[in-house]
Amino acid sequence: MTSAALSFHEVVKSYGNKPALQHVNLEVQAGEAFGLVGMNGAGKTTLLKCMLDFCSMDSGAISIFGVDHHDTAARKPLAFLPERFMPPYYLTGADFLKYTLTLQQIPYDLPEAQQTLAALDLDASALTKPVRAYSKGMTQKLGLAACFLAHKQLYVLDEPMSGLDPKARAMLKARFQELKKNGCTLFFSSHALADVEEICDRMAILHDGKLLFVGTPEQCRQQFSSTTLEQAFLRCIQVD
Ligand SMILES: Nc1ncnc2c1ncn2[C@@H]1O[C@H](COP(=O)(O)OP(=O)(O)OP(=O)(O)O)[C@@H](O)[C@H]1O
């Protein structure tokens, strides 16, 4: 029997009288790479925010490795990268990594930090530069490095490829494969369907707050009689 890393049961969330999530039921198994896809405003970030208890749900239940998501301990096994990652601009890269690791009582190791940045194609000189001097992609790489240096079981990443150049994307995908090999769970949102197809064991299509499809990328293509995942996605949400 496989154990669920994440379990969403009948999750409902509205902003005012506008529904953002409508009876979402989903299980992500431990060790899975799972991609959440959907149009802008579909509710992906809201689902992640509910899971992390950053916002309250109207009803439903979420558990992380069997622990209710309201319990702070439920978040201990996970690392999270937000959609708009904005580290304090006055910190250097090294200061930011030390700060986030200290909050988690994880020691900062300079050679490991340098190695982690190199594996994301970020020059080690970024460690001594203030974050305000970073480009968008450099900032994203720093956020990813902070997640990886925390060595968690579960990585919850909101559009992790955002702002990365093709080389960095390839390197991040290699890192994802390594994490999968080590039994880690990946749960990420993405608009890059080719990446989802390449990386993910399973995926979900969220549309107007409702889950329209859950399965493997191959099942998605088959179910919507499509040769590409992009076409299958468009048929699923019926905009082509
Ligand atoms: N704080 C908020 N207050 C009011 N409405 C919100 C708030 N956050 C999100 N929404 C609305 O909820 C819906 C879902 O937004 P959400 O950010 O979850 O979408 P998303 O799928 O992550 O989109 P994107 O791909 O553009 O990041 C949208 O209609 C959005 O306008």
Q: pLDDT of 192-240, one tens digit each?
A: 999 999 999 999 999 999 999 999 999 999 999 999 999 999 999 986 5
CB 211, CB 24: distance < 8 Å:
yes
Specify if 52 maps to a domain: yes
What is the whole-number distance in angstroms between the Cα of residue 41 and the centre of ligand 1? 5
40 in a structural domain = yes
The reply to whether 203 falls in a domain is: yes
Question: Does 131 fall in a domain?
Answer: no
**Tell me, what's the pLDDT at 239?**
64
Q: What is the CATH number of the domain that holds 65?
A: 3.40.50.300
Q: Give distance in angstroms: CA of 169 to centre of ligand 1.
A: 25
What's the distance, CA 164 to chain centroid? 15
Assign residue 183 a region: left if phi > 0, alpha if psi is -120 to 50, beta otherwise?
Answer: left
Task: For residue 185, tell me if it sits in a domain.
Answer: no
Is this prediction's pTM over 0.80?
Answer: yes
Range of the domain at 225: 1-77+191-239
Please give the tally of structural domains in the chain: 1
Residue 2 in this model has a pLDDT that exceeds 90: no
Give the integer Cα–Cα distance in Å for 43 and 163: 21
Residue 228, classed as helix, strand or coil, is coil
112-149 pLDDT per residue, tens: 999 999 999 999 999 999 999 999 999 999 999 999 99
Whose alpha carbon is nearest atom 12 of ligand 1? 20
167 found inside a domain: no
**Residues lining ligand 1, judged by CB closer than 6 Å?**
15, 20, 38, 40-46, 83
Which tokens sit at 139?
């900032």
Identity of the residue numbered 153: Q
